[in-house]
Structure 1
Amino acid sequence: MSLERDNPDKPRDQPLTPETMAAEWSTMPATFEEDGEQEGGTDRLMSQDEIDTMLGFSSAEDSASRNGIQAIVDSGSVAYERLPMLEIIFERLVRLLSTSLRNFFTDNVEVTLESIRSVRFGDYVNSISQPALLSVFKAEEWDNFGLVTIETALTYSVLDTMFGGKRGQPAPRVDGRPFTSIEIQLIRRVIQLVLGDAEAAFKPLSPVTFTIDRVESNPRFVSISRPANAAIRVELKFDMEGRGGSLHILLPYATIEPIRELLLESFMGEKLGRDPIWENHLATEVWQADVDVTCVLHETRMPLKRVMQLEIGDTLMFDARPDSAVSLRCGDFMVTEGRVGRVDGKIAVQVTSPLRRSKTTLAAFDSLASHLGATN
């Protein structure tokens, strides 16, 4: 069997053997471009930056800028809408806890807000390192549950501080034994303190009461939501002069759903851009405005043909008596009803029924503005 090669320099009928083809290929010169790439090929070594870009690994912490393989790995992560008011609430909680814990421990305690992230409940429970104390609490007004997790380092640091341990030294950790009832009750007091300050932080936005339901040491016993459901994890860092740890507050999205609209606001008391000064001025002007009120004694309907046949001297009969109620109208709107009488020689109307209020309220304007904002 012979192989043929399409070469304009040689006739097509000249046979080529594999040995001659290999010899010719080995003698062919390799031409390179200025950048080191072979013509028609991509034989070039990649730099470390290009490898990191392809894999998606970089020193930046912003997950939104990731690409490559890392972006594919992170595609299963939870990404939900941002709640600006929630960040303000937990920053307020940090300030309240800094004061409360200093008074509680009679020692210097620094509390910092590490992160606020969206996670899946099942992934978070599986990531808890044991031993750890987990407290399930109930939000009474929201009719749902949340979770407070105290890591082992913080647990032993709190216990060491409460029992008078030396400052500046890490708390000794005893592995291989569960927490005693005394230790759980002491940690329960700290959890109650954290939840009390959380109530004060949420109070300006929506009053709520957090009550401890139970304290567990096994993550399997804190199933307050389905594993695939989303939740917000807030990490607080406690530093007590060289010792401390992290405390996590987990709020499922189902728990904060009753106040979701309030958490979407950019600042406390936001109401779709309304100006309260303009509202007060408008209310004052409306209160002082003069309106014409018409007293309608009686109304009747008749065909247009009958109206066209009316002549001078015709009498229209009204089915009304002197004590019949009359209607007071402002334009086309009926305000109330009354009875006609005379006071000091002047005709007067006595109001006999309460005023009829307009069905158009500020709530209607709010709903209309929300609808227009959603459509735009």
Structure 2
Amino acid sequence: MSDEEVLSQEEVESLLTAMEAQAAPPTAAAAPSSPERRARSREKVAPYDFKRPERVGKEQVRALQTLHEGFGRNFGAALSALVRSIVEVKLTSVDQLTYSEFVFSLENPTCFNLLRAEPLEGNLILDINPSILYPIIDRLLGGGKGSGSLARRPLTEIELRLVGRITTLFLRELRHAWENVLDLTLSVDRVESNPQLVQIVPPNEVVVLISFELTIGDVRGMMNLCIPFNSIERISSRLAANSWVSYGRPTRSPEAIARVSRQLDGSLVEVVVELAQTTISTAELLGLRVGDIITTDKDVSEPLRIEIQGATKFLASPGALKGRKAVQIESTLDTPPKAAATPPVAAKKT
């Protein structure tokens, strides 16, 4: 072949393009003819890891995050009342990973609680890191604010009972957080110290890991709630709905009102009987001596006002009982009148 019969580079590329166009099906798009187009097409391809399949949708993850943010605030308040110290509970992440990755990321020994959450299938896991668990136990036993050295051992029988008080608070608030999604019956199945000896799902099964950071003074630690995906798979559509938004604004049921009333029955309140009111000048006040009498405009037949914690609730008449001054309640004020401007001096008897 002579030099005149040799095809140029442009001619070779045009022939190859024409052959590819003829070989391609009519409905298929033309192949990219430049390196720039081929690079753009490769950018659209996302790698897929079969060991870590993304089975939980973004909408479900956002729902779980919003739901457990409110749970963290309520659990922190309940835990603060238990340990009589300020405890901050902050939601740090909501991730999905395999069960084996979750287990091997934990310390050994740790506080590994297997939970039952009926009607969900299988078990849930609550892991409490020893770095925050032992300081909480120390405070429950009367310890001070010092963190001390961290123990590297399984929990004793006494410590397990104290941990039961913590998990009871956790399950109570968790049930309240989920009540708008599903009415759960939560309980602790058993407590283990070595997480690698417990297998509730296959190692490659996807789980949802909800992590909280607990802070007590200068001590911090993690608390993890592990939910296998197969446990919530059949209710995932409820997590996509907006039913969880109403968490934190429950209606007042008659049972809740009765429970609060029972708790208030034994409360101590201040009872004040107002005998009369009058106004005197500062000079008269400074000139008062023992035996002086302050006159008022109140008639002796007018009822006395009884105040409960500063609010006028009853009308009464004065008297005596067994040699002591007393009052007899005559009527109840359903709507207390607005308090008038406080006078400089008021004669009251408690």
- TM-score normalized by structure 2? 0.53
Structure 2 residue corresponding to 1:245, chosen from 217, 221, 229: 221
Partner residue, 1:287: none
* Residue aligned with 2:142, SS: coil
- 1:268 CA drift (Å): 4.1
Q: Give deviations 1:218-259, integer Å, cap 9, x for gaps.
A: 113321111110000011111111113110000000111232
Structure 2 residue corresponding to 1:99, chosen from 77, 87, 93: 77
Q: Determine the C-alpha separation between the residues in 2 that align with 1:139 and 1:264.
A: 20
Q: Determine the C-alpha separation between the residues in 2 that align with 1:102 and 1:208.
A: 24
Q: Does 1:151 align with 2:163?
A: no
Amino acid at match of 1:226: P
**How many residues are paired up?**
199
Amino acid at match of 2:141: F
- 1:172 CA drift (Å): 2.0
Q: Determine the C-alpha separation between the residues in 1 that align with 2:147 and 2:53.
A: 35
Distance change in 2, residues 1:250/1:215 (3 Å): same
- 1:266 CA drift (Å): 4.9
Partner residue, 1:163: 141
Q: Give deviations 1:80-130, integer Å, cap 9, x for gaps.
A: 322132122111211210221111111111110011100100111122111
Greater per-residue strand proportion: 2
Partner residue, 2:317: none
Partner residue, 2:261: none
Q: Determine the C-alpha separation between the residues in 1 that align with 2:53 and 2:47.
A: 13
- 1:75 CA drift (Å): 8.0
Q: Determine the C-alpha separation between the residues in 2 that align with 1:242 and 1:256.
A: 36
1:62-73 counterparts in 2 under 5 A?
none
Structure 2 residue corresponding to 1:124, chosen from 94, 102, 109: 102
Amino acid at match of 1:79: E
Q: Determine the C-alpha separation between the residues in 2 that align with 1:88 and 1:123.
A: 24
1:42-191 counterparts in 2 under 5 A?
76-80=51-55, 81-82=57-58, 83=60, 84-167=62-145, 169-175=146-152, 177-191=153-167
Amino acid at match of 2:160: I
Distance change in 2, residues 1:159/1:269 (3 Å): closer
Q: Give deviations 1:144-197, integer Å, cap 9, x for gaps.
A: 210000111012111122122222x3242133x432111122112211211111
Partner residue, 1:206: 182
Unmatched 5+ residue regions in structure 2?
1-42, 247-350
Q: Determine the C-alpha separation between the residues in 1 that align with 2:160 and 2:53.
A: 33
Q: Determine the C-alpha separation between the residues in 1 that align with 2:190 and 2:243.
A: 34
- 1:199 CA drift (Å): 0.4
Distance change in 2, residues 1:203/1:266 (3 Å): closer
Larger radius of gyration: 1
- Aligned partners of 2:51 and 2:204 also within 8 Å: no
* Residue aligned with 2:97, SS: strand
Q: Determine the C-alpha separation between the residues in 1 that align with 2:66 and 2:225.
A: 15
Distance change in 2, residues 1:268/1:93 (3 Å): closer
RMSD: 2.4
- TM-score normalized by structure 1? 0.49
Identity over aligned pairs, percent:
24
- Aligned partners of 1:156 and 1:172 also within 8 Å: no
Q: Determine the C-alpha separation between the residues in 2 that align with 1:244 and 1:188.
A: 20
Partner residue, 2:280: none
* Residue aligned with 2:96, SS: strand
Q: Give deviations 1:312-346, integer Å, cap 9, x for gaps.
A: xxxxxxxxxxxxxxxxxxxxxxxxxxxxxxxxxxx
Q: Determine the C-alpha separation between the residues in 1 that align with 2:234 and 2:51.
A: 27
Q: Determine the C-alpha separation between the residues in 2 that align with 1:216 and 1:143.
A: 20
- 1:135 CA drift (Å): 0.3
Partner residue, 2:292: none
* Residue aligned with 1:254, SS: helix
Q: Determine the C-alpha separation between the residues in 1 that align with 2:235 and 2:148.
A: 40
Q: Determine the C-alpha separation between the residues in 2 that align with 1:249 and 1:105.
A: 21
Distance change in 2, residues 1:154/1:238 (3 Å): same
Distance change in 2, residues 1:78/1:237 (3 Å): farther
Amino acid at match of 1:138: R
Q: Determine the C-alpha separation between the residues in 2 that align with 1:128 and 1:188.
A: 20
Q: Does 1:217 align with 2:197?
A: no
Q: Determine the C-alpha separation between the residues in 1 that align with 2:151 and 2:84.
A: 25
Q: Determine the C-alpha separation between the residues in 2 that align with 1:258 and 1:87.
A: 19
Q: Does 1:257 align with 2:233?
A: yes
Amino acid at match of 1:218: N
